[in-house]
């Protein structure tokens, strides 16, 4: 690909270059050409700034802000790049049991997620939503239980709150 100096010389009529006996025009093109070459290279590099894998660490703060992730420049950028890359997929899974299980396992949780709708005995064919009762005070739809959670474990309770869909109930057991 020709440089900008060569391109600019090609755009000018030959008369201007022939009449340039003191090389003033060529000196001007020698200043403008490299500047435009640098500008072209920077413009060509702009798409890499939007890629989490190849952008400089200085731009990770902006990318993290776009997807709602907190970026700490004092920490290692590699795991934070992974968090930024996976943020959209995590948002898609908020409120699902698969997303809840993944986030709890990342905290080192060992337990079980109990879906109470699997324990329901249907007594009639025309049952209504949330009208069939489970043993005790729990209803069959919109309830899930999580075992292995200590009442004092704030990190796990924060994950449970984040994944808790509206209109559902949950219970925990230690």
> Is residue 132 situated within a structural domain?
yes
29-36 LR contacts (CB < 8 Å, sep 24+): 29/5, 30/5, 32/4, 32/5, 32/8, 33/3, 33/4, 33/5, 33/6, 33/7, 33/8, 34/3, 34/4, 34/5, 35/4, 36/4
> Is residue 10 situated within a structural domain?
yes
**Residue 170 in contact with residue 143, Cβ under 8 Å?**
yes
The CA distance from 21 to 148, in Å, is 87
Of 81 and 122, the structure prediction assigns the larger pLDDT to 81
> Is residue 166 situated within a structural domain?
yes
Query: 141: domain range?
Result: 95-174
pLDDT of residue 94: 83
pLDDT of residue 141: 53
pTM to 2 decimals?
0.54
Q: Are residues 109 and 171 in the same domain?
A: yes
pLDDT tens-digit readout, 10-48:
888 888 888 888 888 888 888 999 999 999 999 998 888
pLDDT tens-digit readout, 150-170:
878 888 888 888 887 766 777
Quote the number of domains for the chain: 2
Average per-residue pLDDT for the chain: 81
């Amino acid at each position: 690909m020709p440089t900008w100096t060569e391109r600019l010389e090609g755009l000018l009529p030959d008369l201007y270059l022939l009449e340039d006996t003191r090389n003033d025009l060529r000196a001007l093109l020698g200043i403008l050409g490299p500047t435009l070459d640098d500008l072209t290279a920077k413009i060509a590099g702009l798409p890499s700034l939007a890629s989490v894998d190849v952008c400089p660490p200085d731009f990770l703060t902006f990318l993290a802000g776009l997807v709602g992730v907190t970026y700490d420049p004092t920490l290692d950028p590699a795991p934070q790049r992974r968090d930024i890359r996976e943020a959209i997929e995590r948002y898609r899974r908020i409120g699902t049991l698969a997303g809840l299980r993944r986030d709890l396992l990342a905290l080192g949780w060992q337990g079980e997620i109990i879906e109470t709708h699997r324990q329901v005995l249907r007594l009639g064919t025309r049952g209504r939503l949330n009208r069939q009762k489970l043993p005790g005070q729990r209803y069959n739809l919109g309830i899930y239980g999580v075992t292995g959670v200590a009442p004092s474990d704030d990190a796990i309770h924060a994950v449970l709150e984040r994944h808790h869909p509206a209109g559902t109930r949950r219970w925990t057991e230690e």
